[in-house]
Chain A
Amino acid sequence: MSKREQETQEIDSHRLAELLASYGADSERWPESERDAITSRLESGANDLLPSQQQEAQALDDLLDLAPPEEASPELMARVLEQAGMTPWQRLLKELWPWGAAWRPAAALLCSMVMGLLVGGLFPGTSPSGTVMADPLPEVVIELAWLEPQEQEEDYLTLAFALESASEVLP
């Protein structure tokens, strides 16, 4: 064997050991570009160490096969499929209101608005504070404000008891 051939074989053996260490013994996992080369190399039995490395890799593969990753729960599958069937607008609603059907809060809001509009439209002048502020004060009350205290008292009495004059009740 020439020095060049020996060097190539050593490099190949090194690479083969690397590949077995990285990808294991199953040819399906080996890089596609090197798969054929690896197979023929292993079949040729050119390196005494390779079979043991291959067995070592196979043993670890077998152990890893015993512990496959967990699977999705049926609830998750249902949630994901529900999202898939939604329009972008429905998805947005779902994000804003993730606690159940979005029509419930929307309907409550709409009902409140309709009730407010109905009450406002059917009874426009029923606000008690609005009425007081809107009605002008009776003239007699305004006049009272400008009187002397003694006169005010008398006028209050005539106003309160609908008398002709305060002298009817005052001592």
Chain B
Amino acid sequence: MRAEGEKTVRDRASDALLMTRVSSRDSTACRELVALHLDGVVGLAMRMLNGNRAEAEDVAQESFLKLWRQAGRWRPEARIRTWLYRVAHNLCIDRIRKQSRESGETAPDQEDHAPGPQSHLESRQLAAAVNRAVAALPERQRTAITLVHHQGFRQAEAAQVMGVGVRALESLLARGRKTLRVRLAAVRRDVNRG
């Protein structure tokens, strides 16, 4: 516990130092930051925007532009990763809401119905089936799973990115994982057989 706390303080100090270098347009620092976070931000945005790469890359570019602008006014207690993903998350939510308004639908948080997994899947097809099942989850559940499972966010940090409490995050994770367990049951049988 104490070691984790010390690590957080160290991370914050190193983030503040990195942002000082970014504010003076140190290309190595910018490159380091992009290498650390760009893939993750694109991954989250693609999951949230249902695989739309063009939109996801726009969101990522806008998030980083905001970060570059913020560099000179960086607060030392802030974490770059949390800040960046929170900005990207909010930009995605804006786009989802805009699309819902334009199509005259309400923002969906009910579950879509994914096509059922086929038996005897090759590994590429297996990954595709998992991707389809994740994509069919309600937006908040797949965001929570992407942050915690794939991006390695800690409980409190993921909750902060999504703007929810820790218990709400746990509930989103549990519901998402339960749905995936049911939908991927056939896929799992296939894996066990193979």
Contact = CB atoms under 8 A, between A and B. Distances in A.
A65 to B, nearest CB: 8
A32 B4 contact: yes
A160 B137 CA distance: 95
Interface stretch (A42-50, A70-78, A109-117, A123-131): A70-78
A70 B151 CA distance: 12
B60 A76 contact: yes
A81 B60 contact: no
Contacts of B25: 84-87
Count class of interface residues, chain A: 35 or more
Given A22-B173, A64-B130, A84-B22, A76 B149 contact: no
A71 B1 contact: no
Interface residues of B, number: 56
A45 to B, nearest CB: 24
Nearest to B1: A32
A145 B125 CA distance: 98
Interface of A: 18-19, 21-24, 28-29, 31-33, 56-57, 59-64, 66-73, 76-77, 79-81, 83-88, 91
Closest 10 CB pairs of A and B: A69-B43, A84-B30, A67-B130, A22-B173, A72-B42, A71-B39, A22-B170, A67-B131, A22-B174, A21-B174
